[in-house]
Chains A and B, each alone.
Chain A
Amino acid sequence: MISLAGRDILHSWGKFVFTGMGLGLLIGVTLSMAGIYRGMVDDAKVLLDSSDADLWVVQKDTLGPYAESSSLYDDVWRRIRDMPEVERAANITYLTMQVGKQGGDVRAMVTGITPGGPGTPGWPPYLVAGRHITRSHYEAVADIASGFKLGDRIKIRRNHYTIVGLTRRMVSSNGDPMVFIPLKDAQEAQFLKDNDAIWEQRRRTAENPAFNRPGVPGLLDAVIASQSTNPYVNAVLVRVKPGYAPEEVAESIRRWKRLTVYTRSQMEEILVGKLIATSARQIFMFLVILSIVSSAIVAFIIYTLTLGKIREIAVLKLLGTKNRTIVGWIMQQSIALGLIGFVVGKISATLLMAPIFPKYVLLQPLDSVMGFIAVVMICVLSSIIAIRAALRVDPAEAIGG
């Protein structure tokens, strides 16, 4: 038996190819949306991977340091490091801000890392160019996505930093490139105010009788000095010695140090389940809408194509063609349209859309397989209206009258 659908498509291939291309661009956008969601999840995991930590110690009862703000004294890490189960512990700060560069600025997550060299929790695990930070101040390592180059001078708050190293895929959960600077500089960047604000703060403190008592010399200077330093960090990253269970160590820190501690899986849950949950829901809604639009388009196209063949269908039915042959004809055309659309969509998502999206688009093979199955199902369902129309055609129409 010859394939009616195949012959019909070959006969009017231009119509099918161009319709398929239009549908394909829509499918490409759908796949890209899925890729953006995957990219956000991957960015979150990359952030955790790059921290190279088993535990995140944060301010009590907060979801810090990524989903909520968290402040810890910067000497807490010493008590944690002294625990026998802990291999390394390091302070870290995170601050998302505009990093200035001559000719513009870039949104980045400025990360303050403790001295200690590669292997210290929080340090970038590898570089694609340059070297790690070796000086205590004014050197920075930036993710290549920031657009910075080796030797570039960047401005963070009032200080200038030289880019000495470049890394790759070191981004925040929002996809902002990370810029690593020494911890002390980062603490200052978090705290540092402009001169007017500092003068204003000092004036207010001096006018406060509680801090400027005539009988207590040196109190005002001590208060001002305490206001001029930032003894806080956002979290302590902890690496547990081999052989110890991170959950047990976390429980020990929670109980004895009275701090909140998250394991890797808990932190992943916070990032994926809470921090990017709204974005994920938005993307899911886009996926649903795009799927509905795609279905409507396929249904409309197949219905229109079928209406254009009513006479042929009537003749075929009069000549004794079985319903299943006609159903197969329409459904195969619908699926063929979907296949053309999927191929065009996959190519456009991979080669055209993913590279130009500002966010990381991760196109996973499993998503493509799921997308393919969804497209086929949508096409089958969309052809139902056309099939119903074809089955309602009266063979007597071929005879006329």
Chain B
Amino acid sequence: MTAKGIRIQGLKKRYGSGDTAVDALKNVNMHVAPGEVVGLIGPSGSGKTTLLKCLGAVIEPTAGKMILGDDVIYDDSWQVTDLRALRRDRIGFVFQAPYLIPFLDVTDNVALLPMLAGVPNAEARKRAMELLKALDVEHRAKAMPSQLSGGEQQRVAIARGLVNRPPVILADEPTAPLDSERALAVIRILNDMAKKFETAIIVVTHDEKIIPTFKRIYHIRDGVTYEEEGEGRGFE
């Protein structure tokens, strides 16, 4: 799979119509290169979640363009027919809470996505184990989610987001429930994984602890994005 990150040009999203119409996204422009981790920061109601839903192919934007890798996936309308397959195979998700499936062990939580894509079970589990090893939770491979610490659960969730080698990962407040040390550890892991798998990662956050770690930050205000250089502290 060619990995050229994700580019968003002039993305708009309007809810409703007529007098009650609300423009949640007015002009969003972003580019995240493969191997790069950028922060998306904005106050409540600025359009962060709407943007995440548009990028995650959960809701349809009103206008604009989204290019994933070499493929235009949205150009004033969806350019792909199977949005489920798009989400499953080409977009990774990491949530604020890990949201692991409670009745699957760690390996199968990670291996489930490739299995859903039709990858044989053995191959899917092999991929899962490689990622769990890379994320240093290999030793908990047979544990159930309820037996893991918060940090371990988040690492397993990151492994799940990476397992289908998506060109982009959308991380929604991935460090919110963690203390400083663990939050920075998660960001470090995301940076490592982005480089290792040539994945573009967008981290939506308002966590002051991790904002200084981004080299590039997109601010979103009233549905409009503004690019800013970050400090990149700790990842020079």
Interface footprint category on A: 20 to 34
Minimum C-beta distance from A152 to chain B (A): 63
Segment at the interface with A among B2-10, B93-101, B210-218: B93-101
Q: Give the residues in chain A near B52, CB-CB below 8 Å.
A: 399, 401
User: B84 interface residue, CB < 8 Å from A?
Assistant: yes
Candidates B89, B95, B102, B121; contact of A399 at CB < 8 Å: B95
Question: CA–CA, A320 to B82, complex, Å?
Answer: 10
- A365-401 contact mask (Cβ, 8 Å, vs B): 1 or 0: 0000000000000000000000000000011101111
Q: Find out whether the CB atom of A396 lies under 8 angstroms from the CB atom of B53.
A: yes
User: B167 interface residue, CB < 8 Å from A?
Assistant: no
User: A213 interface residue, CB < 8 Å from B?
Assistant: no
Q: Find out whether the CB atom of A322 lies under 8 angstroms from the CB atom of B104.
A: no
Closest to A8 in B: B103
Question: CA–CA, A401 to B172, complex, Å?
Answer: 10
Q: Give the residues in chain A near B206, CB-CB below 8 Å.
A: none
Q: Check A399/B172 contact, CB under 8 A, given A318-B93, A319-B87, A321-B116.
A: yes
Closest to B45 in A: A401
Segment at the interface with A among B12-20, B107-115, B148-156, B188-196: B107-115
User: A198 interface residue, CB < 8 Å from B?
Assistant: no
Interface footprint category on B: 20 to 34
User: B85 interface residue, CB < 8 Å from A?
Assistant: yes
User: B35 interface residue, CB < 8 Å from A?
Assistant: no
Candidates A11, A315, A400; contact of B103 at CB < 8 Å: A11
Report how many A-B pairs have Cβ atoms within 8 Å.
79
Question: CA–CA, A317 to B83, complex, Å?
Answer: 11
Q: Give the residues in chain A near B99, CB-CB below 8 Å.
A: 311-312, 315, 398
User: B50 interface residue, CB < 8 Å from A?
Assistant: yes
Q: Find out whether the CB atom of B101 lies under 8 angstroms from the CB atom of A316.
A: yes
Provide 24 A-B residue pairs closer than 8 Å at the C-beta atoms, listed in order of the A residue.
Answer: A2-B121, A4-B101, A4-B103, A7-B104, A11-B102, A11-B103, A11-B144, A311-B99, A315-B101, A317-B84, A318-B56, A318-B87, A319-B88, A320-B89, A320-B113, A321-B88, A395-B87, A396-B59, A399-B52, A399-B58, A399-B95, A400-B172, A401-B49, A401-B52
